Amino acid sequence: MTVATTRLDLLRWQFDLTWALFELHLEELTSEMLRWEPARVCWNVRIDEDRQWTADWDEAELDPIPVPTIGWLTWHIGWWWSVALDHAQDKRLRERVEIVWPGDLDGVLAWLRDLRLDWLEILTSYADGDLDAPSSYPWGEGSENTVAHTVAWLNAELMKNAAEIGQLRLQCSAS
């Protein structure tokens, strides 16, 4: 086994573990939980003037920082994961406003699970590839990071968002 295969196997194992833990929460979500607001100041998903679901966003550092809803967090996952896939496939990177939230529980679950399948295809394509190749996503041009860094970042970002969703799900259930 080569060093690159060993690293890829480890990254894939970490991804699969994170996804399995995330599925525990996804399986328990309800439609009501998606837009439940746990605090006075929240970021949520809302229907815009074009009748599309969009996520609250502000470029400024807000004080207090809005608490995201589960719906907002699922949009956030869809945003960064869609753009990671764009980058991995050498496509034009979509802008944040181009990522539309599906609007209902079935759509959200299908979207996230499809993103997972698309990412698994990317990981499989790296099996014979070079994890040491340069990668600017999500750090930007000029980064000295590699494809391995991007894969590890994606695992960490998914783990963080899964934990946030899990915690909100538990709070919503207990309230």
Looking at residues 120-134, what average pLDDT do you find? 85
How high is the mean pLDDT of the chain? 94
Q: What is the pLDDT of residues 68-119, one digit of tens each?
A: 999 999 999 999 999 999 999 999 999 999 999 999 999 999 999 999 999 9
CB-based contact 76:101 (threshold 8 Å): no
**Which CATH architecture does the domain made up of 3-174 adopt?**
Up-down Bundle (1.20)
Angle subtended by helix axes 147-174 and 70-88, to nearest 10: 170
DSSP lists the bridge partners of residue 101 as: 53
Pairing of strands 42-43, 45-47: unpaired
Measured distance CA(149)–CA(132) in Å, rounded:
9
Q: Which residues contact 73 (CB under 8 A, 6 or more apart)?
A: 161, 164, 165, 168
Is residue 128 scored above 80 in pLDDT?
no
What global pTM score does this model have? 0.94
User: pLDDT band at residue 126, thresholds of 50, 70 and 90?
Assistant: confident
Give the position of tokens 């394509």.
125
- Alpha-carbon distance 56 to 71, whole Å? 11
